[in-house]
Structure 1
Amino acid sequence: MRADAILFDKDGTLFDFAGTWNGWAGGVIESFAEGDEVLAARIAAALDYDLGARSFLPESAVIAGTNREAAEAVAAVLPGRDVEWIEDFMMRQAAEASPAPATDLVPLLTGLAGGGLRLGVMTNDTEYAARAHLVAAGIEGHFDFIAGFDSGHGAKPDAAPLLAFAAAMGLAPGRVVMVGDSLHDLVAGRAAGMQTVAVLTGMAPASELSPMADVVLPHIGHIPGWLRESVVPA
């Protein structure tokens, strides 16, 4: 097999981004605004979120950014609340979101692990929210490594958190596949010397992702087929 481990991004990769976060974000903006439509519009603009469509705009930094970065954007337009309070509020609200699986995750992950692959998750979300979502989807126990931007390894697009996974597994980075839906994921993977797989269950189109990806797949359910096709016969 061409790899010994797979490191997954979470939002837009394990879980469909729009199905998980678009509606949730509208509710959080309304909570911050407390009925003030002008303030709600200002918060939405700061997050590049379309209130009418209840959807993030493709250029939103929130899509691939950290919880802290999203909190800083809100704090810039929300009076009377500091960044720390906003960050904590968003983390706890995010943990209550209902993740929308990108495919049937349990059999997929069971099959990958059964084939001898070590599995991990590295997300720019908080580790707290990441674990809550993995538990809600019934898949936390499938992973050997779970990290958020606040787990002490750094955040994507830096390569450090990806290299932390490789080191924890005792593997050379080139034997690890980084799977993600954003350039942050793929840039980090390339910088770490890993193989890179892009999926289209986030907000970025194939044309944006393909220059940094070894392959672009519709969703992670296609990974087993790609692994089989990529093996060079003896």
Structure 2
Amino acid sequence: MIAALIFDKDGTLFDFTATWGGWARSALVALARGDADLAARLATAMRYDPVAGLFAPDSTVIAGTTAEVAELLLPHLPGRQAAEIAAELNALSAQAEQVPAVDLPKVLGALHGRGLRLGLATNDSEASARAHLAGAGVADLFDFVAGYDSGHGAKPGPGQLLAFAGAQGLAPAEVAMVGDSLHDAAAARAAGMASVGVLTGVAPRDVLEPAFDVVLPDIAALSGWLETRR
């Protein structure tokens, strides 16, 4: 029986393209201090098309940590430090207007009401994640929140997932990881957990299906999937 669910954030709880596609334009201009040519170079480094507002499927931004994105941008920002860039990215991302993938209070509230414990494992910072959950009105539904900077490592490593299971007193087999990227699937596999993919991120079904135990349209379909496991 599944007793707990640990969710990825971007592309899982929140629609990735709708949330981050437009945000990236203003974030890059801010990082470039208004220099349009530099902003364009940063966009190229991030594998981001500012005209379409889309990230390439292999962009580090999709599943990487903020620290990894900062290292990617560092060669284009001489005189600045990676930690400084990461801090600015974290501050900018915390202010990003999140677009929920589904009615989060309704869907997560129903799962919580079934007695499931809920966790969040993201490669964003913990502070940004907590701000986004609070903005969506669902922070109080989560028993555990971890970012790449919370001391448990980052995905695709299993540290965040195992920390959640341990904090809840559960075996990994009692937890399912829900995410939209191959990093999420790899983390679940490494942790010994069931894995559920959703299609509210960038990766299409044919990429996710070989890696996840099951692929659902979005997290609203979790309730039905859980019934099949009874």
Q: Displacement of 1:84 after TM fit? A: 1.5
- Say yes or no: does 1:99 pair with 2:98: yes
What's 2:82 paired with? Answer: 83
- Say yes or no: does 1:132 pair with 2:117: no
What's 1:218 paired with? Answer: 217
Q: Which moved more, 1:5-14 or 1:82-91?
A: 82-91
Q: Distance in 2 between matches of 1:32 and 1:9?
A: 26
Letter in 1 for 2:166: A
Percent of aligned pairs with the same amino acid: 54
Matches within 5 A, 1:1-234: 2-231=1-230
Q: TM-score, normalised by structure 1?
A: 0.96
Q: Displacement of 1:230 after TM fit? A: 2.5
Structure 2: gaps spanning 5 or more residues: none
Q: TM-score, normalised by structure 2?
A: 0.97
Q: Distance in 2 between matches of 1:136 and 1:192?
A: 30
Letter in 2 for 1:99: Q
1:158-205 CA distances to partner (integer Å, 9 max, x unpaired)?
Answer: 011111111011001011000000000011001111000000101111
Q: What's the Cα RMSD here? A: 1.0
Q: Distance in 2 between matches of 1:154 and 1:65?
A: 12
Q: Which moved more, 1:215-224 or 1:52-61?
A: 52-61
Q: Distance in 2 between matches of 1:219 and 1:183?
A: 16
Q: Displacement of 1:19 after TM fit? A: 1.0
Q: Distance in 2 between matches of 1:54 and 1:110?
A: 32
Q: Displacement of 1:33 after TM fit? A: 2.3
Q: Displacement of 1:107 after TM fit? A: 1.5
User: Is the 8 Å Cα contact of residues 156 and 188 (structure 1) preserved in structure 2?
Assistant: yes
Q: Displacement of 1:83 after TM fit? A: 1.0
Q: Distance in 2 between matches of 1:111 and 1:31?
A: 39
User: Is the 8 Å Cα contact of residues 5 and 117 (structure 1) preserved in structure 2?
Assistant: yes
Number of residue pairs matched by the alignment: 230
Query: Runs ≥4 in structure 1, deviation > 3 angstroms?
Result: none
Q: Distance in 1 between matches of 2:229 and 2:191?
A: 21
Letter in 2 for 1:222: A
Structure 1: gaps spanning 5 or more residues: none
Q: Distance in 2 between matches of 1:102 and 1:54?
A: 18
Q: Distance in 2 between matches of 1:180 and 1:23?
A: 22
Letter in 1 for 2:211: M
Letter in 2 for 1:168: A
Q: Distance in 1 between matches of 2:150 and 2:16?
A: 22
Q: Distance in 2 between matches of 1:114 and 1:59?
A: 37
Q: Distance in 1 between matches of 2:81 and 2:75?
A: 9
